Amino acid sequence: MHAMETIIHQAFIDGIELRQRCAVELASPLKEAADSMIACLRSGGKILACGNGGSAADAQHFAAELVNRFEVDRPALASIALTTDASILTSIANDSVYEEVFSRQVEALGAKGDVLLAISTSGNSANVIRAVQVAASKGMQVIALTGKDGGKLAIHPDTDTLLNIPHANTARVQEMHITCLHILCSLIDHVLYGDAS
């Protein structure tokens, strides 16, 4: 088999095997995460999401699905990606330290009963961990979406629900992250709006 074909084939095989494993291992924590998000939204709260790089894109993707729509037409749901305001991000990074770019926003925007979706493929992103600590201090629920061994977020006392993708390859982890986020959107829509269209 040609080297490029081998890479293509292996990526698909690894992805399939990982999905099968996650279908078993993540069913319960996905339900728990969805329950937290649904309770938050029902009570008038909001979901804040953060992450770096590809995880920043996932945070924005998730917020967009909630504020606009996922698969059905329904009322807008309150969600904010903390990765989108260049002026806020750069002013915090410039005036303070990069580790505070999300936690300052959680301090400003988060409230008791809100949810923080903390995304980090390594589970070790310092700015995400700092946001988790501030969220917990405000009485927010914390859902951590991680990979590999879960890193520091997997054992952090402020992580309420852990969605860990047990794979060493970041690309495979990120592929499962977006799958998990889409599943959460489906569960939220189903519980809150049933068969709305």
- Kind and range of the H or E element at 179? helix 170-193
SS3 97: coil
Cα 107 from Cα 105, distance rounded (Å) = 5
| Segment 88-105, tens digit of pLDDT | 999 999 999 999 999 999
pLDDT tens per residue across span 154-177 = 999 999 999 999 999 999 999 999
Tell me which H or E stretch contains 161: strand 161-165
Residues 106-116: pLDDT tens digits?
999 999 999 99
The answer to whether residue 2 scores a pLDDT higher than 90 is: no
Do 76 and 67 form a contact (C-beta atoms < 8 A)?
yes
Structure tokens at 58: 């996932």
Q: Which residue has the tokens 């709260």?
A: 45
Exposed/middle/buried for residue 83 (C-beta within 10 Å: 0-12, 13-18, 19+): buried
Structure tokens at 19: 């999905």
Please state the rounded mean pLDDT for residues 71-78: 96
Give the position of tokens 């489906």.
186
Share of the chain above pLDDT 90, in %: 97
34-52: pLDDT as tens digits: 999 999 999 999 999 999 9
Average pLDDT over residues 172-190: 98
Its domain, for residue 24, covers 3-193
CA dihedral 171→172→174→180, nearest 10 degrees, is 170
How many domains does the chain divide into?
Answer: 1
Residue 74 in 3-state DSSP? coil
CATH assignment at residue 99: 3.40.50.10490
Whether residue 196 has pLDDT greater than 90: no
Mean pLDDT over the full length of the chain: 97
